[in-house]
Amino acid sequence: MQNDVSWDVMLRAMWNNQWTQKRSELTEELRNTLYDESQGIIDIAVKLYALAQIKAIADGTETVTPVSIREVAAEKLRLVKPMLDALRAGDKKKLLQYEDIRPIGVEDYIAAQASKLGAYTRKVSALEEQAVLRLLEMEVPSKTARACVRKVLSKSTDGQPLGGVIRKAFKMALNMDAQAPGAEQEADSAGEDIRVAGGYDGLQDAGVIAAGAEW
């Protein structure tokens, strides 16, 4: 296809099939990047779009960008690159050397990215369990501990150290406890706060707060 109205219509129809958590709008740069990397060959354009989404889901960025499209093109189009270069240069003599563009397989790429995603999921799951256990040791209710840890982990896709997750989740649990109905009256009648009840000492025992540090 030529990079004209027909190409634009095809891309707009294709763009509706988007599975990333963050929707990427079809910009002029994305449109031109896909054309440059596929040279208007629909099969290649569709698969590059799919591969870029798989990459975005696997690495946690959840966004299709011109950079991600060029990265998957560099990785997956090595075998057809000479033909695409000939098309890009308009070298008709060189194009006669090729009977057809070989189909692009995506199954191996999907398997590789799924493996990475599975490893990341297992790592996050293990981190969640460790953090919840530490919060339970600090007398945070089980349901609250689980909810706070999951909320902390959902805010970052790059992975976080255990101590950081515990600290953020514990602070979140304190805020939830403070906002609970009657929390202020209960604290006044008991004459103590969560530091005395073991929360502060628990954070020190977990290595999240250095010994002797101010609250």
Distance CA 76, CA 51 (A): 9
Report pTM. Answer: 0.47
Matching residue, tokens 């509706």: 16
Q: In the prediction, which pLDDT does 21 show?
A: 86
Task: List all residues 6 or more positions away from 118 whose beta carbon is below 8 Å from its beta carbon.
Answer: none
Q: In the prediction, which pLDDT does 215 show?
A: 45
Query: Is the Cβ–Cβ distance between 153 and 127 less than 8 Å?
Result: yes
Q: How many helices (H) and strands (E) does the chain have?
A: 11, 0
Q: What is the pLDDT tens value at each position of the chain, 215 positions in all?
A: 888 898 999 999 999 999 888 889 999 999 999 999 988 888 888 888 988 998 888 888 889 999 999 998 888 776 666 666 666 666 566 555 655 555 555 566 566 666 666 666 666 677 788 888 888 888 888 888 888 888 888 776 455 788 888 888 888 888 876 665 554 444 444 444 444 444 445 555 555 555 555 44
Q: In the prediction, which pLDDT does 183 show?
A: 46
Q: In the prediction, which pLDDT does 60 show?
A: 83
Q: In the prediction, which pLDDT does 41 show?
A: 85
Q: In the prediction, which pLDDT does 189 show?
A: 44
Q: In the prediction, which pLDDT does 192 show?
A: 43
Longest CA span, the chain: 90
